[in-house]
């Protein structure tokens, strides 16, 4: 393990306090000293004049769970200064796996554009998943959450019903088992089946287990548009009834009718905090969202899984109702011309990637809702989409809050291998965009606050006890960047472009980026939460 000294950096330590000029000494993977001047005899010295030294960025909302098998260095994230990614978000994740339901979980992950390793889901629980990743060797750390969707599929399959008492006990036991293995919490995706089939009571029961383990409850809440406030109420109620720490995922106000409600959402969270609920949120800094095109399809049509969904999309008995409801949801998200098709599986429809739904409807000479249904049928429901449905005022308002962490909602990518696929730029740009566009250019945040929202705040939410700050005794996850040049370059039209301005990063004390280039080192680990209580 390297021993080195960073000299003369502008140190921003992750606590939101004023930057200071100083040196940082690292030994054996740990930060050993931070002070205005350190004598570093016998050590490698990195001259950091003009550069900012910050704790490595923690991406609290990532979907790198399976792409990490293909891109173990997570290049698009590493070049933004990310050293830890929290995976298993939005109720979508790789464990637990019940052998009898492996196919259903595989379908679910594919629908959400997760790229499975060549041998599929070859594990059952967190320890086996983590062992496989540790064997490959990772360029950054992963902190996994249990995904409620996977948990529900393991016990109930894709059925649209409440669990029996016995089934609920099974879910609780599986959750506790994952927490015992070191999971950091539970995520829900309450707009995505099967998560959307869960009632609040089920979530409160599961959250009570989390509270016992001091683990986090993160939620893609039940509505982010017209029902945003009710959905926040549900998240707050879950926190209140269970005592769990709550993180609202990618906070936003979606759809033109709801623009301006970002502030209302923030004050709602503030009030909840004052009443004793430990609740905060995260956000990605873009005006477009991205998820599966199936997010336009109402929940009832998903009951039973993908094969049933495809039957309903094709059946004359259900098509009319589906058309009406898909059109409604499409308009709610900004209308067909603001929904752009991103990833598409088949060669047949590949040229549709990058086109919006209105253009596809014109091409096919049909109504937009019919185009959506045809595309889903032809692609067996595996279609990604980008929805231009947010306002910049809301993005700015939410970004200004020091209770909102930065999370990409993206995944680790590599330009050479992903080129040609349409995708949301957040996977390449989130952290650099906050520091370049929002901090340097627009002055919405101070650099210290921006860094705090990517490090110290996030470590606190996650309960990552020795990361997120530059302090003696903390793990040496560090980034050195140029505050004058850091910038995102990924755009909606040309997403596969790495951010610039990150000069060095270290993960667990080992360099993963040097002089702006990926080193190829693999010091990353799957982090496990320790010191948990037992479930009885």
Among the listed ranges 45-53, 213-221, 312-320, 337-345, the one in contact with Zn ion (CB under 5 A) is 213-221
Any contact of residue 112 with Zn ion (CB under 5 A)?
no
Q: Please give the Cα distance from 384 to 511 (Å, whole number).
A: 34
Smallest gap from Cβ 247 to Zn ion, in A, equals 12
Binding residue (CB under 5 A) for Zn ion from 220, 261, 312, 453: 220
Closest CA to 346 of 368, 377, 306: 377
Smallest gap from Cβ 411 to Zn ion, in A, equals 12
Q: Please give the Cα distance from 198 to 221 (Å, whole number).
A: 12
Smallest gap from Cβ 249 to Zn ion, in A, equals 5
Per DSSP, the three-state class of 531 is coil
Q: Which is nearer to Zn ion, 292 or 475 (CB)?
A: 292
Q: Which residue has the tokens 């889901």?
A: 121
Among the listed ranges 214-222, 443-451, 453-461, 495-503, the one in contact with Zn ion (CB under 5 A) is 214-222
Q: Which is nearer to Zn ion, 220 or 245 (CB)?
A: 220
Q: Which is nearer to Zn ion, 61 or 125 (CB)?
A: 61
Smallest gap from Cβ 90 to Zn ion, in A, equals 3
**Total of chain residues touching Zn ion, rule CB under 5 A:** 2
Taken in order 457, 463, 468, 474, the sign of the CA dihedral is positive
Q: Which is nearer to Zn ion, 242 or 290 (CB)?
A: 290
Number of C-beta neighbours around residue 135 at 10 A: 7
Please report which helix (H) or strand (E) contains residue 84, including its range: strand 82-87
Binding map of Zn ion across residues 52-81, x = CB under 5 A, - = no contact: ------------------------------
Q: Which is nearer to Zn ion, 7 or 112 (CB)?
A: 112
Q: Which is nearer to Zn ion, 220 or 461 (CB)?
A: 220
Binding residue (CB under 5 A) for Zn ion from 5, 60, 90, 272: 90
Taken in order 156, 158, 159, 161, the sign of the CA dihedral is positive
Smallest gap from Cβ 87 to Zn ion, in A, equals 13
Smallest gap from Cβ 35 to Zn ion, in A, equals 42
Any contact of residue 424 with Zn ion (CB under 5 A)?
no
Phi, psi of 424 (to 5 degrees): -80, 135
Any contact of residue 529 with Zn ion (CB under 5 A)?
no
Q: Which is nearer to Zn ion, 5 or 390 (CB)?
A: 390
Among the listed ranges 84-92, 113-121, 125-133, 300-308, the one in contact with Zn ion (CB under 5 A) is 84-92
Distances in whole angstroms, Cα of residue 255 to Cα of each of 62, 269, 332, 399, 400: 23, 20, 5, 18, 21
Q: Which is nearer to Zn ion, 125 or 220 (CB)?
A: 220
Smallest gap from Cβ 62 to Zn ion, in A, equals 11
Smallest gap from Cβ 446 to Zn ion, in A, equals 28
Render the burial of 459-488: b for 16+ CB within 10 Å, e for the rest: bbbbbbeebbbbeeebbbbbbbbbbeebbb
Q: Which is nearer to Zn ion, 26 or 251 (CB)?
A: 251
Any contact of residue 449 with Zn ion (CB under 5 A)?
no
Smallest gap from Cβ 510 to Zn ion, in A, equals 32
Smallest gap from Cβ 141 to Zn ion, in A, equals 21
Smallest gap from Cβ 37 to Zn ion, in A, equals 46
The answer to whether 221 and 269 have CB atoms below 8 angstroms apart is no
Among the listed ranges 47-55, 215-223, 298-306, 354-362, the one in contact with Zn ion (CB under 5 A) is 215-223
Question: Residues 6 or more apart from 107 whose CB is under 8 A from it?
Answer: 305, 306, 307
Among the listed ranges 49-57, 82-90, 149-157, 330-338, the one in contact with Zn ion (CB under 5 A) is 82-90
Smallest gap from Cβ 309 to Zn ion, in A, equals 19
* Residue 360: strand pairing partners: none
Are β-strands 4-11 and 52-55 bridged in parallel, bridged antiparallel, or unpaired?
parallel
Distances in whole angstroms, Cα of residue 367 to Cα of each of 313, 321, 323, 373: 15, 14, 9, 10
Any contact of residue 148 with Zn ion (CB under 5 A)?
no
Q: Which is nearer to Zn ion, 101 or 220 (CB)?
A: 220
* Residue 386: strand pairing partners: 290, 340
Among the listed ranges 23-31, 90-98, 123-131, 318-326, the one in contact with Zn ion (CB under 5 A) is 90-98
Q: Please give the Cα distance from 304 to 240 (Å, whole number).
A: 32
The strand order across the sheet containing 383-387 reads 289-292, 383-387, 339-344
Question: Residues 6 or more apart from 306 whose CB is under 8 A from it?
Answer: 107, 108, 111, 380, 381
- What one-character-per-residue DSSP string does 385-400 give? EEE----HHHHHHHHH
Among the listed ranges 209-217, 218-226, 347-355, 388-396, the one in contact with Zn ion (CB under 5 A) is 218-226
Distances in whole angstroms, Cα of residue 258 to Cα of each of 285, 310, 333, 368: 18, 31, 10, 23
Point out which residues bind Zn ion (CB under 5 A): 90, 220
């Amino acid at each position: 393990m390297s021993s080195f000294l960073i000299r003369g950096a502008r140190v921003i330590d992750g606590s939101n306090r004023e930057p200071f000029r100083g040196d940082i000494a690292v030994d054996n993977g740990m930060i050993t000293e931070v002070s205005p001047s350190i004598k570093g005899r016998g050590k490698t010295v990195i001259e950091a004049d003009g550069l900012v030294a910050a704790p490595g960025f923690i991406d609290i909302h990532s979907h790198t769970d399976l792409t990490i098998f293909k891109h173990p260095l997570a290049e698009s994230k590493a070049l933004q200064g990310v050293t830890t990614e929290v995976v298993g978000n939005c109720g979508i994740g790789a464990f637990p796996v019940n052998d009898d339901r492996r196919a259903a979980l595989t379908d679910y992950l594919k629908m959400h554009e997760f790229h499975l390793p060549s041998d599929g889901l070859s594990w059952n629980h967190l320890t086996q998943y983590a062992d496989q990743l540790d064997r490959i060797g990772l360029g950054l750390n992963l902190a996994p959450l249990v995904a409620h969707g996977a948990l529900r599929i393991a016990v109930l399959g894709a059925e649209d019903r409440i669990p029996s008492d016995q089934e609920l006990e099974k879910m609780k036991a599986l959750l506790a088992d994952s927490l015992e293995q070191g999971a950091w919490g539970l995520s829900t995706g309450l707009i995505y089946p099967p998560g959307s089939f869960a009632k609040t009571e089920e979530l409160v029961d599961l959250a009570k287990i989390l509270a016992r383990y001091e683990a986090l409850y993160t939620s893609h809440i039940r509505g982010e548009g017209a029902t945003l406030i009710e959905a926040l109420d549900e998240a707050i109620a879950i926190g209140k009834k269970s005592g769990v720490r709550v993180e609202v995922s990618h906070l936003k106000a979606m759809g033109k009718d709801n623009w301006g409600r970002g502030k209302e959402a923030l004050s709602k969270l503030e009030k909840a905090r004052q009443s004793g609920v430990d609740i905060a949120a995260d956000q990605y800094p873009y005006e477009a969202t991205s998820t599966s095109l199936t997010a336009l399809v109402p929940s009832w049509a998903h009951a039973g899984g993908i094969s049933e969904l495809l039957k309903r999309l094709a059946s004359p008995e259900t098509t009319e109702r589906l058309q009406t409801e898909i059109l409604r949801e499409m308009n709610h998200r900004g209308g067909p011309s603001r929904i752009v098709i991103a990833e598409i599986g088949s060669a047949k429809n590949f040229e549709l990637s990058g086109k919006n739904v209105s253009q596809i409807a014109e091409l096919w000479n049909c109504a937009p809702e019919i185009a959506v249904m045809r595309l889903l049928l032809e692609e067996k429901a595996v279609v990604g989409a980008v929805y231009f449905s947010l306002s910049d005022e809301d993005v700015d308002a939410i970004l200004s809050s020091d209770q909102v962490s930065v999370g990409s909602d993206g995944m680790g990518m590599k330009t050479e291998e992903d080129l040609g696929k349409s995708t949301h730029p957040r996977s390449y740009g989130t952290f650099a965009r906050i520091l370049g566009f929002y901090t340097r250019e627009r002055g919405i945040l101070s650099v210290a606050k921006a860094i705090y929202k990517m490090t110290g705040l996030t470590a606190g939410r996650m309960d990552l006890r020795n990361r997120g700050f530059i302090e003696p005794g903390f793990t040496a996850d560090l980034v050195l960047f140029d505050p004058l040049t850091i910038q995102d370059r990924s755009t909606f039209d040309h997403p596969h472009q790495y951010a610039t301005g990150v000069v060095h990063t270290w993960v667990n004390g080992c360099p993963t980026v040097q002089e702006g280039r990926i080193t190829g080192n693999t010091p990353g680990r799957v982090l496990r939460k320790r010191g948990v209580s037992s479930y009885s």
